[in-house]
Chains A and B, each alone.
Chain A
């Protein structure tokens, strides 16, 4: 701002510049104190799948080109604005330049070359990501419905229509999630039972929509390779396409196991399905009933009281098509009661054996963030 008499900067303008300076100082301090974290925040997380690593490499190239273009052009804007401000009292017209065909040609052709280069490298990397193995080590169908994920494990020679060998219904936790062998290729099919969802795992840098299709052969499918180094790791996944009021809670986990460990887990699941279903617990030990109702992916009763000598949950699942279960978790996180889930609308009586008096949590393990309450046993 100039200090020539008659063009004194207004107080409001000074305030404005002060605010701008304060923000710049704040940003500078942030950079000095936490530069590495700020720098890393411009990049996606380290990729944990082979396909994700391909995407990350492409991102890095795009980022460098974009950053260079940004610095040049934004720098040009800022420099021009500072350099060519009008001096007070200067009434002379600047040169009236109407254009320059050479300049127009340069800034048409150079950007065209850059974007075509970007297109070619992203097409190449797309082809690598979309490559599908003819003989994957494992085929799994991820099934999405409002608002939970389940994972159906298919036989080796399956296609998208094949029935599951067994199904993992809990999307999270030690008994659930999408369990995969590290160092091997998994072919995933995506099936929706209602609206559009999206299978998204940030650490794989990847998402694919789960589009409802009448014909399962039209379901989206892709290959996922977790490198051998991922054994023992768990990755967070989440639905990325708005699917209704419970969209937020549609989370799941991907658990990578070493191949031997995976095989043991797999055999156990197959054996459990093949074993004859255990007889339903008879009413012999049934205690007094405790009513629980699930509606709208919520428990209607926030608190429950039950006798320590054993009782029976009278569990009313009113959510059509949505499975719920009812587990009791002790304060140390241990499950003291674990029931099988069932879709609503249906009512089941679940006998609970005697448990020590105290305060517990009751949860639906399929919707643990949304469906939880306090159980007092006395």
Chain B
């Protein structure tokens, strides 16, 4: 197929590194995505620890230059969203989707390599800001006109070249996403194995499909907004500058028209991964497969009609419409939650690390969904918007949800990727540290927000009543940081001496477990018959057991 087949003569002088740099194999590209994403996860994490350290006690201690503080939280958000969560989910998709549909590779292997290599390039551009007089510092949302100013470095955040580098990096990363989504769509529609009908596809494939549609429809919008911002900053455009006839709120509309669907881009594939893991470790099929597919499509569709709930306090949006749509999008999300719980219900649960992280996802994402409903009630949002409540909410969705899902997926597919199991003991230590650290960090932020602490401030008055909760959040932040040590150690020792996985260590359901671990470059020697959404279950227990 489309994978590179090297002649023996050529392979003699191609080193391992050269092979990884030039690979078009979706599995190697998938692993590159994961490595690159984890690198940026650690960078983003260190930036967050910088922010938390500064906020631990009142007064300015670490980031005494408040401009630098603003750079830290801006880059934390940008790196985590655009260089960690979105790409790492694309990485899992890259590795797993072709295997799960019984394909030998992605539809466009070389475009696949191109989409990956734009990411480290974008990341380097973004971080270069720190070396060129200041990274972007107008927040990851870069609201105009704050992000437009080039003069008056003393008071304006966006005066340096960092903001321009931010724009360029995001255009690159967005282009990578668009190419990737086209590749996923063509792969899923055109390269499924015989018998793999749409309604026999694993849920992860469905979520990647819906995610790709979201990316394809939304990313061009932010790309044009970014170019408009670039023109405003560098060539005297007046798109977003009210002083010259532009409109400051226009930026927010186009930004959130992308960035709200992007929240689902960051969550749907993680939901897909959970939906692969819960059935395997409860030894039951996913409860309500079709309902789950429709709920995913429903979230995707409704996801385009809720962007202005980020703008309730601007006084420039029609509040009842966006309030109603935001409330309604809770319904398909709730359907999924109940389907997951009833997958576990009356199952026989094995508490391996992937299941623990998946349960972490369920219980934390539940909080992230419920505290989101507070902000859907517009008047309540008047109180909560731009306070630490919102920081709590978004981290319960993106960390409690997506990152726990990513960890579940890592422990679940690591054996397939490397042929070796990750250690269960260290996995559980990581889970406990991360789970407790996460809640210590982000739960108190609800209370801080209710008590009136705004986001994006480097310091607060000692008598504001925010001291204890901030200290608690900082302690939790370092606990999350510490939870990365057992993970890294686990990966390190498991790669050398981990238990040999075999083809199917989890007694799983989907096709990737029908081939060797790691799979050969062409993926499958032969495929089992595909008669349901669980071909391997059918193979193991007979088709009649799957009634």
Binding site for B on A (CB under 8 A): 10-13, 15-17, 19-20, 23, 41-45, 52, 54-55, 58-59, 62-63, 66, 69-70, 73-74, 76-78, 80-81, 84-87, 90, 92-100, 103-104, 107-108, 111-112, 115-116, 118-119, 121-123, 125-126, 129, 146-147, 194-196, 198, 200, 202-203, 205-209, 211-214, 220, 236, 238-248, 295-297, 319-320, 322
B366 and A73 form a contact (CB under 8 A): yes
Residues of chain B lying within 8 A (CB to CB) of residue A78: 363
Asked whether A66 lies within 8 Å of B373 as measured between CB atoms, the reply is yes
A126, B285: Cβ atoms under 8 Å?
A: no
The answer to whether B145 and A104 have CB atoms under 8 Å apart is no
Instruction: Note all chain A residues with C-beta closer than 8 A to B245.
Output: 214
Q: Residue B1 at the A interface, CB < 8 A?
A: no
Q: Which residues of B contact A322 (CB under 8 A)?
A: 155
Nearest Cβ on chain B to A4's Cβ, whole angstroms: 14
Does the CB pair A115–B328 fall under 8 Å? yes
Chain B interface size, as a band, is: 35 or more
Q: Is the CB of A107 within 8 A of B320?
A: no
Contact B323 A119 (CB under 8 A): yes
Query: Are B373 and A118 interface neighbours, CB within 8 A?
Result: yes
Contact across chains for B377 and A58 when beta carbons are under 8 A apart: yes
Question: Contacts A81-B344, A96-B547, A297-B154 given: A111-B334 contact, CB under 8 Å?
Answer: yes
B532 — nearest CB in chain A belongs to which residue?
A98
Complex interface: chain B residues within 8 A of A100 (CB): 287-288, 342
Q: A66-B373, A241-B143, A245-B157 given as contacts; is B327 within 8 A of A97 (CB)? A: no
Q: Which of B290, B341, B377 sits near A122, CB closer than 8 Å?
A: B377
**Interface contacts beyond A97-B284, A104-B288: sample of 13 additional A-B pairs, CB < 8 Å, sorted by A:** A11-B425, A13-B424, A44-B450, A84-B347, A94-B283, A104-B291, A111-B331, A115-B373, A118-B373, A126-B378, A206-B382, A207-B386, A319-B155
- Check: B14 CB closer than 8 A to any chain A CB: no
- Distance of A29 Cα from B429 Cα, bound (Å): 24
Residues of B within 8 A of A58 (CB): 377, 379-380
Q: How far is the CB of B397 from chain A (nearest CB, A)?
A: 15
Contact A20 B432 (CB under 8 A): yes
Q: Assess the A242–B447 pair: CB atoms within 8 A.
A: no
Chain B residues contacting A202 (CB-CB under 8 Å) are 383, 451-452
A198–B248 alpha-carbon span in the complex (Å): 14
Once the chains bind, are A146 and B425 in contact (CB under 8 Å)?
Answer: no
Which 8 A/B pairs are nearest by Cβ-Cβ distance? A202-B452, A12-B425, A296-B154, A122-B377, A115-B327, A205-B383, A99-B288, A16-B432
Q: Could you tell me if A126 and B319 are in contact, using CB atoms closer than 8 angstroms?
A: yes
Neighbour of A295 across the interface among B154, B431, B460, CB < 8 A: B154
Query: How distant is the Cα of A300 from the Cα of B284 in the complex, in angstroms?
Result: 69
Closest to B456 in A: A242
Name the residue on B nearest A190 (C-beta).
Answer: B315
Known: A86-B348, A212-B248. A123 touches B323 (CB 8 A): yes
CB contacts under 8 Å to A, within B119-168, are 138-139, 143, 145-146, 149, 152, 154-157
| Interchain CB contact under 8 A, B379 and A208 | no
Q: Is B359 an interface residue (CB 8 A)?
A: yes
Cross-chain contact B335 with A108 (CB below 8 angstroms): yes
Closest chain A CB from B339 CB (angstroms): 8
Could you write out 12 A-B pairs with CB less than 8 Å apart?
A44-B450, A84-B345, A84-B347, A92-B348, A118-B376, A121-B377, A122-B380, A195-B248, A200-B386, A205-B382, A208-B382, A245-B154
Residues of A within 8 A of B249 (CB): 211
Q: Which of A59, A76, A86 interacts with B341 by CB under 8 Å?
A: A76
| Residues of chain B with a CB closer than 8 A to A212's CB | 145, 242-243, 248
Contact status B155-A77, CB under 8 Å: no
Q: How far is the CA of A108 from the CA of B336 in the complex (A)?
A: 10
Interface centre among B287, B334, B351, B547 (most CB of A within 10 A): B334
Let me know if B221 is at the binding interface, CB within 8 A: no
Q: In the assembled complex, which residues on chain B have CB atoms less than 8 Å from the CB atom of A241?
A: 143, 386
Q: Complex formed: what's the CA distance from A80 to B278 in Å?
A: 13
- List chain A residues, Cβ under 8 A from B459: 248
**A198-B386 contact given A100-B288, A209-B314, CB 8 Å threshold:** yes
B379 and A125 within 8 A (CB): yes
Is B320 within 8 A of A126, CB to CB?
Answer: yes
Complex Cα spacing A262 to B341, Å: 60
Q: How far is the CA of A262 from the CA of B374 in the complex (A)?
A: 37
A211 partner, pick from B248, B374, B457, beta carbons under 8 A: B248
In the docked arrangement, what's the CA distance between A322 and B370, Å? 43
Q: A55-B382, A81-B344, A84-B344 are in contact. Are A99 and B290 (CB under 8 A)?
A: yes
The proximity string for B residues 278-308 relative to A, scoring 1 for CB distances below 8 Å and 0 otherwise, is 0000111101111100000000000000000
**Interface positions of B from 422 to 449, Cβ below 8 Å from A:** 424-426, 428-429, 431-433, 436, 446-447
Report yes or no: B351 in contact with A108, Cβ–Cβ below 8 A. no
Contact flags B311-352 to A (C-beta < 8 A → 1, else 0): 001111001100110011011001101110110111111110
Instruction: Answer whether residue B385 sits at the interface, using C-beta atoms and an 8 A cutoff.
Output: yes
Residues of A within 8 A of B19 (CB): none
The reply to whether B344 and A98 contact each other, CB–CB distance below 8 Å, is no
Alpha-carbon gap, A12 to B76, bound state (A): 32
A151–chain B nearest beta-carbon distance, Å? 19
Residue of B nearest to A237 (CB): B452
Are the CB atoms of B380 and A55 closer together than 8 Å? yes
A134 to B378, CA, bound (A): 24
For the complex, give the distance between the alpha carbons of A13 and B541 in Å: 32
Q: How far is the CB of B304 from chain A (nearest CB, A)?
A: 18
- Is there contact, CB below 8 Å, between A129 and B345? no
Smallest Cβ distance from A222 to chain B, in angstroms? 8
The answer for the CA separation of A107 and B339 in the assembled complex, in Å, is: 9
Give chain A residues whose Cβ lies under 8 Å from the Cβ of B22.
none
Q: How far is the CA of A103 from the CA of B290 in the complex (A)?
A: 13
CA separation between A95 and B382, bound complex, in Å?
49
Given A108-B335, A119-B323, check contact A77 B362 (CB 8 Å): yes
Q: Which residues of B contact A146 (CB under 8 A)?
A: 155-156
Q: Return chain A residues, CB-CB under 8 Å to B315.
A: 208-209, 211, 220
Known: A74-B366, A98-B285, A248-B459. A93 touches B541 (CB 8 A): yes
Best-buried of A74, A115, A125 by chain B (most CB within 10 Å): A115
Q: Answer yes or no: B394 CB below 8 A from chain A CBs.
A: no
Which of chain B's residues has its CB closest to A104's CB?
Answer: B291
Please give, as numbers and ranges, the residues of chain A lying within 8 Å of B451 by CB-CB distance.
41, 44-45, 202
Q: Which residues of A contact B139 (CB under 8 A)?
A: 242
* Chain B residue at minimum C-beta to C-beta distance from A18: B432
B454 in the interface (beta carbon within 8 A): yes
Assembled-state Cα–Cα distance A247/B157 (Å): 10
Collect the chain B residues with CB atoms within 8 Å of residue A96's CB. Answer: 284-285, 545-547
In angstroms, how far is the closest chain A Cβ from the Cβ of B530?
17
Evaluate contact between A19 and B373: CB separation under 8 angstroms: no
Interface check B367, CB cutoff 8 A: yes
Distance between Cα atoms of A112 and B288 in the complex (Å): 18
The answer to the question of B477 belonging to the interface, with a C-beta cut-off of 8 Å to chain A, is: no
Given A70-B367, A194-B145: A97 and B287 within 8 A (CB)? yes
Tell whether B455 is near chain A: CB-to-CB under 8 Å. Answer: yes
Q: B328: which of A41, A112, A296 is its contact (CB, 8 Å)? A: A112
What distance in Å separates the Cβ of B167 from its nearest Cβ neighbour in chain A? 18
Contacts of A243 in B (CB 8 A): 146
Residues of A within 8 A of B362 (CB): 77
